[in-house]
Structures are given as structure tokens and as C-alpha cells.
Amino acid sequence: MADTIQSVKGMNDVLPPDSARWQHLEATCRELFARYGYGEIRTPVLESTALFARGIGEATDIVEKEMYTFKDRGERSLTMRPEMTAGCARAYIEHSIHGKEPVTRWWYCGPMFRYERAQTGRYRSFWQIGCEVYGIAEPTIDAEQIAMLTELYTSLGVGDLTVLINTVGSAEDRPAYRAALVAFLEPKQDALCGDCKRRLVTNPLRVLDCKVPTCKDAVAGAPALRDHLGERTRAHFAGVQRTLEALGVEAKVDDNLVRGLDYYTGTVFEITSAAGALGAQSTIVAGGRYDGLLESLGGQPTPAMGFALGVERALLCMGGDAAAFVRPIDVFIATRGEDSRVRATALAHALRKAGLAVEVEHRDAGMKNQFRRADALRARHALALGEAELASGGAKLKDMATRQEVEVRLDDVAGIAAAARA
């Protein structure tokens, strides 16, 4: 308790055995994404601050007050990524992917950073896994991603899922709607909360999303975005819904679903789970289309669709005993004395090369203690290697569950491995 150094607020360690649950989630995603044709992209945690300011939007909460931004020794303003879409877009443009292939599918996994107050399911350093598809304007890809996610959560055992979808309109639709909304809200300005008064100027769509009661009242009867959608947007959204239906995915249209990031255009979606210990959060993944982002960052006009899922949140409602995901020990070798430990270490080395998981008791501990430890490690077999065994060259491999023992020769690695696998 003295003067020890602790981890930074809101930034957590993941230790065994809990890390095994993370590995399970990651392995499931990796395998699933591979079947859908996604390749992994890894980008630096640090990016130029301007990337996020331009990509995510100056007026968003993330850019306004949640970024870890600082100057490096060369006086360049750098920011620890608060999300990955902007970084992926930067990489896509920087490597001229547009000119190399018509369709690009990327997935990623890594830590993101946002300066917020931590609570259950929300941390300052948190992990996201996400996918980005570039080059497809058609609505079927939107539905494909959503369906892929429902499959993911189902296979992970995350229950009580709700898929919410909406469309926020294309770059052509939005200015008209925005004007109509502002015209409707301006007379009611006095009823709005402080944040919303500001949003009225910076990002009026967000007022629709406000939880303050007076704002909710003021918003009642506001013009609906769906009445301001152009024909192309309508057709696209209808296509998404039609494809989801064909895939057997039940999705609820939520008119108030407005993502907090500026780059979204057209389809937006969110999947919530009522399962597990998510606390006040319920969103476990969110995403949408961002057809204008690449161009706004200086790239070629490129349609794009992506999502990000919160790893900690997925884990919170995944359940499952961490120990069940840990690889059990095949053979535990109990020792007595240094000669025994040397011989046991060599034997373990050979057995591990043969593919077994082996643990040697390197400490000078009592036999009873060693067998207890073998139990704690969930070892399938135990082999006591003491003076008698060293002298005779033979030993007994004990099945910890049945307590049956079989004779083995210490120099017969293949034989021991076979017996341990039986």
C-alpha cells in the first residue's frame, strides 16, 4: 500500500485466466472474418490529430473533449486513436488501395483511447474489433455485415440481442433535412438544454438523441428524416431491409438512432444485448455506412461500410467460466531433489516438443503439495520422478481422474506421450 505505482485511471490489465476468454473471443472473430473474406490490418496507436478532427468531426464529443492529444518532441500534435475507422481510411488512401483492387475487406483488433469517466463497460483504454469494407455501394453488403455479427454473438453465446437500424441520409439529403429541423427547433430554443442549444448550431441531428426530458418534449413532432430522404437513399435502405429479411435477421427500424460520429451516411445500425453484467450500457456493436469519408480525407470517392464492437462489453455479456477456456496440463511431473528436477526438465522439454502441455515442479516442495498443485492446474496426468525412478529408469504415469497408473520408461518419450493422450 505504500508508494506503489498503479495503472492509469480507466486502463486495466487483463490477466490469466481471464485472458483466455479474450483469446476465445478473438479466435472466434478471426475465424469468422476469414470466412467472410476479411484480411487483418494493423495500424499505429498514434495518428496525427488532424486525422480525427477531419474524419470524426470537430463538433463531436470525441474530438471536443475525449481525445488523448499531446505534442511530441518535434511539436507535432498527435492523438491516441479513439477509434479505428479514421486510421483505416488513412491507410487505404496512403497505400493507394483504391487503384489496386475494386473491393477491400479489412478487420482489426486493438486498444482505443478516450478520456471519459470510467464505469461498467466503459473504460479509457478499451478494445475494439471491427471490419471495414471499401468499394461496395450496394445495400446487400450492409446486411451481410449485420448478419455476420448476429452469427458472431450467437456463436459466442451472447443472448437477448436486438438489431436496430436506421438511415441518416446521404450527403445530398442531409442539408435539406438539417435546415428543416433547425427551422422547427429554433422557436423552441429556450426549452432546450445547454448542450442542445449548442448542438442546434454544430450538429442539430444530435438533439433528436438527447435524453433530457424538456428536449424530448421539444423534439416531439419534429420533421422526420425519413420524409427528407432522396429516392436513392430510400431504395438503398429498402434493399438493406430486404436482404436482412432474406438472411432471417430481425431488425427494428429506430428513427432516433443517430450515431455520434459525423462520417456516417445512409445506413446506421446498432446491436444491443440485455444479457449479462453490462451495467448501464447496452450497445455491444455499432456501425454504418460512410460513403463520404474517404473523399473528405483526400482520397478517391469510395463507398464504405464498417462497424466496431466493444471487446470488454462483449465479454461482459458472454459469460462462461474463464478456467474452461484455459488449456489444461497434460502431464504434471512431481520432483524430489535437484537430480530429479534436471531429469524432469529434460523430459518435459521432450514431451512438449511432442505436443503435450507439461508442467514441472521446479520448487523443492513436498509430494502432497505437488499433487495438490497438479489438481489446481487441472493436470490430466501426473508422474512422480524421484530417486527410485531415476535409478530404475521407469515411472508410473497416473491418470488424475481415475487414479489408474501405467508403467512407462523415462527414455520412451513417444510411449509417455501416447499414454498421456490415451
Partner RNA sequence: GUGGGAGUAGCUCAGUCGGUAGAGCACCAGAUUGUGGUUCUGGGUGUCGCGGGUUCGAUCCCCGUCUCUCACCCCA
Query: Which of 97, 165, 284, 304 is the binder for RNA (CB under 7 A)?
Result: 284
Q: Return the residues of window 165-194 that contact RNA according to CB under 7 A.
A: none
Written as one string, the DSSP assignment of 43-78 is: --SEEEHHHHHHHH-TTSHHHHH--EEEE-TT--EE
Distance CA 277, CA 295 (A): 40
| Min separation Cβ 171 and RNA, Å | 19
**Closer residue to RNA, CB minimum distance, 161 or 400:** 400
How are beta strands 381-385 and 331-335 bridged, if at all?
parallel
Pick between residue 238 and residue 323 the one whose CB is nearest to RNA: 323
Assess contact for 144 and 265: CB atoms under 8 A. no
Q: How far apart, in whole angstroms, are the C-alpha atoms of residue 144 and residue 136?
A: 12
Question: Binding string, 250-269, against RNA, x = CB under 7 A?
Answer: ---------xxx--------
All three cell numbers of 377, joined, read 492446474
Q: Which of 35, 73, 100, 211 binds RNA (CB under 7 A)?
A: 211
* 101 vs 339, beta carbon nearer RNA: 339
Give strand pairing partners of 331: 358, 381
The size of the interface with RNA (CB under 7 A), counted in residues, is 70
Looking at the Cβ atoms of 102 and 220, the one nearer to RNA is 220
Q: Does residue 122 interact with RNA by CB under 7 A?
A: yes
396 scored as a contact of RNA (CB under 7 A): yes
Choice from 248, 280, 327, 338 touching RNA (CB under 7 A): 280
Phi, psi of 341, rounded to the nearest 5 degrees: -65, -40
Q: Which is nearer to RNA, 97 or 148 (CB)?
A: 148
- Do residues 281 and 126 lie in contact, with contact meaning Cβ atoms separated by under 8 Å? no
Place of cell 437513399: 233
5 lines the binding site for RNA (CB under 7 A): no
Cα–Cα nearest to 249, from 184, 137, 162, 369: 162
CB nearer to RNA: pick between 89 and 285: 285
What is the arrangement of strands in the sheet containing 394-399, beginning at the earlier edge strand? 358-360, 331-335, 381-385, 394-399, 405-409
Binding piece for RNA, criterion CB under 7 A, among 30-38, 273-281, 350-358, 409-417: 273-281
Stretch that binds RNA, among 40-48, 111-119, 224-232, 239-247 (CB under 7 A): 111-119
269, 302, 262, 271: which is closest to 287 by C-alpha? Answer: 269
Binding site for RNA (CB under 7 A): 1-2, 6-7, 9-10, 12, 60-62, 83, 114, 116-123, 126, 128, 195, 206, 209-212, 259-261, 270, 279-286, 308-310, 312-313, 334, 336, 365-369, 371-376, 382, 384-389, 396, 398, 400-401, 403
